[in-house]
A and B are shown apart, each in its own frame.
Chain A
Amino acid sequence: MPFILAQTTKQPMKSGSFVIAPGPVPAGVGIGLRLPHHRWVLEHAPAAAWLEVHPENYMRNGMFEAELDLIRRDHPLSMHAVGLSLGSSDEVSREHLRRLAALMVRYEPALISDHLSWSTIDGVYLPDLLPLPYTEEALDVVVRNIHSVQSKLKRRILVENPSSYLQIVDSSLTEPEFLGELVRRCDCQVLLDVNNICVSAHNRGESPLAVLTCFLGHLPPACVGEIHLAGHATLALEHGAADLRIDDHGSRVSDEVWQLYAHAVSALGDRPTLIEWDKNLPDFAILQEEAEKAGDVCRLALGQEAPRAAFG
């Protein structure tokens, strides 16, 4: 089975200046684990290739954390943060980073990621992924914050392209250019969210495929360490305006996003891929169906005959 950089080895692998984490995340399809599914996963031990959690849900050191200890015994784990606020002109919260570092020691996640966005300003946290202007000043700020996180955690993180709704004046770089510079200056990786590319492109009146192609053209393939897939909502606006796409993670992956995923995999090769679902969370079996479909799409895109190892 192919593994990405995070292989289990007796000698930690190194890339650039950061040690690659222990614990394998296979280049199969993982599932975003949400708290309501804990008991089901513990009782049924589903053969998901790997699981991804939001570390902010595990900062109480109580029951959820103990349950995740048990789940972690059977599943490779990835941690997808929402609270580092990498784009904030505030420095990264030391307390949040301390909590994240403690979870990293406890669970040994193979991957740690957050978003190219901000949530905190002047110490106030807004629970959303707010947009950045893609300017040189913002680039310096994000580079500073990623360095701060990677230095504390002593490992590389992945940075995800967010969904966007706003268009900010005076951005001097495109999003792919901005991410490419981050990779170059921080030795970080990229979490390519294909659904977010689709949402953002539509909301800007651009072609999702053209935008994806732009991403693939600007990012070294080796830097893409993970792909995210999710559903999004389409909201019809009044007065003949364009439809609004909302990244709500509340439905199955759309056909358009499946096509973009196939295109991405064709260009990048097999990558750890995650099914995310947050709103109107269905039974875990539905997430498994989506993961199986992702495996099929990937296999077809790569021209492979044998079933991909999304499930045991």
Chain B
Amino acid sequence: MPHLVEFQRSLATDVLFEGAGSAKYLCEGPVAADVAIRVHRDSVLAALVNAIRLSCPTFSALVDVTFFEQSVHDYARARPPGSACLADFGYEFGGFLEMYPPASGFPFFGDIVRFDIAVDKTSHDLPGTYGAPISLGAGGAFRLLTSLTHISTRFPVDAIRDEVEAGRFEELERLDMKPRVYHFALWRGNSGASVKRLTEPAAAFLTVLLQGGSGGSAVKQALEHAGADDVLRALQSEILTPPVCIISSDGTFGEAQ
């Protein structure tokens, strides 16, 4: 028997890549070695396909089963999981699809997967918990939902997801698929993930805050995209509003915490 590490590298390669290098370490029994390795391969790939299917329901519903499974298999071979927590698997799947030759005619797949994964992650967050106060100046402050996050895409992934969830696949052809920038805020509502489109100034404001910036620097960034009146309207209607935000004029927040 070779060193354990050599055996394990060899068997892992055979399981993931359909090689035969481990044959010399195996003996034939009632079940042939290649059949036995296939049991492990099927188990590994089925677990990974299931993980992506759960986190990417829109992409999964949009493509046929063969394409879906093959794309996950190829992704797993290119970027195998590094953690036993399979919820961590798939964060690079969107980028992988954008470089995946069989998906070259579908440039929106990557965005759909990234959006699916963001929604999935948000849906598993806790609802109703707010982060630390952020100063508004003059004693005022606001707090954002801890689940609040932001994603930008080039395609209208929210509309695509809505149509797919409703089973209205024929409506997909009517969507404007010309690439442009879309911004979304996502947060955990009481019954699951909620999504809202954001304007440029609101997205810029939120991005700074989610990166740990101050309220003042977030406003400054928003003003790069619009005039003061438009920024104020955008922030009041898109970010500084319940349920994603609670505001206190004196910074105390009362019972709303």
Contact = CB atoms under 8 A, between A and B. Distances in A.
B87 interface: yes
Q: Which of A83, A89, A241, A242 neighbours the largest number of chain B CB atoms within 10 Å of its CB?
A: A89
B3 interface: yes
Contacts of A99: 85
Contact of A127 (B28, B31, B84): B84
Given A133-B25, A242-B30, A244-B39, 6 more contacts: A89-B5, A93-B83, A120-B84, A127-B81, A133-B4, A204-B29
13 contacts: A59-B85, A83-B83, A85-B84, A121-B5, A125-B83, A130-B40, A133-B7, A165-B39, A167-B33, A168-B26, A168-B27, A203-B36, A241-B30
Contacts of A84: 84
Contacts of A246: 39
Majority SS at the chain B contact face = helix
B219 interface: no
Interface string A242-275: 1010100000000000000000000000000000
Interface in A96-143: 96, 99, 118-128, 130, 132-133, 135, 137-138, 141
B31 A169 contact: no
Contacts of A60: 85, 87, 121, 124
B12 interface: yes
Given A56-B85, A93-B84, A167-B26, A64 B44 contact: no
Task: Give 5 closest A-B pairs by Cβ, nearest first.
Answer: A83-B84, A165-B36, A242-B30, A170-B1, A127-B47
A89 B1 contact: no
B100 to A, nearest CB: 20
Contact of B15 (A66, A126, A244): A126
Interface string B180-224: 000000001000000000000000000000000000000000000
B86 interface: yes
A93 B188 CA distance: 31
Given A121-B5, A124-B12, A204-B29, A59 B40 contact: no
Nearest to B86: A127
Contacts of A166: 26, 33, 36-37, 40
A128 B81 CA distance: 12
A88 B29 contact: no
B80 interface: yes
B43 interface: yes
A169 B27 contact: yes
Nearest to B48: A127
B4 A135 contact: yes
Contacts of B30: 202-205, 241-242
Contacts of B85: 56, 59-60, 83, 96, 99
A122 B11 CA distance: 12
Contacts of A202: 30
Contacts of A95: 83
Interface of B: 1, 3-5, 7-9, 11-12, 15-16, 25-33, 35-37, 39-40, 43-44, 47-48, 80-87, 121, 123-126, 188
B246 to A, nearest CB: 21
A132 B26 CA distance: 11
Contacts of B40: 126, 128, 130, 165-166
B87 to A, nearest CB: 6
A177 B28 CA distance: 22
Q: Which of A165, A168, A241 neighbours the largest number of chain B CB atoms within 10 Å of its CB?
A: A165
A302 interface: no
A81 B48 CA distance: 17
Interface in A138-160: 138, 141
Nearest to B36: A165
Given A56-B84, A66-B126, A203-B30, A121 B8 contact: yes
A88 B48 contact: no
Contacts of A241: 30-32
A62 B35 contact: no
Contacts of A81: 84
A108 B9 CA distance: 36
Interface string A41-72: 00000000000000010011011101000000
A306 interface: no
B47 A128 contact: yes
Contact of B43 (A83, A125, A127, A205): A127
A310 to B, nearest CB: 30
A216 interface: no
A237 B39 CA distance: 12
A40 to B, nearest CB: 18
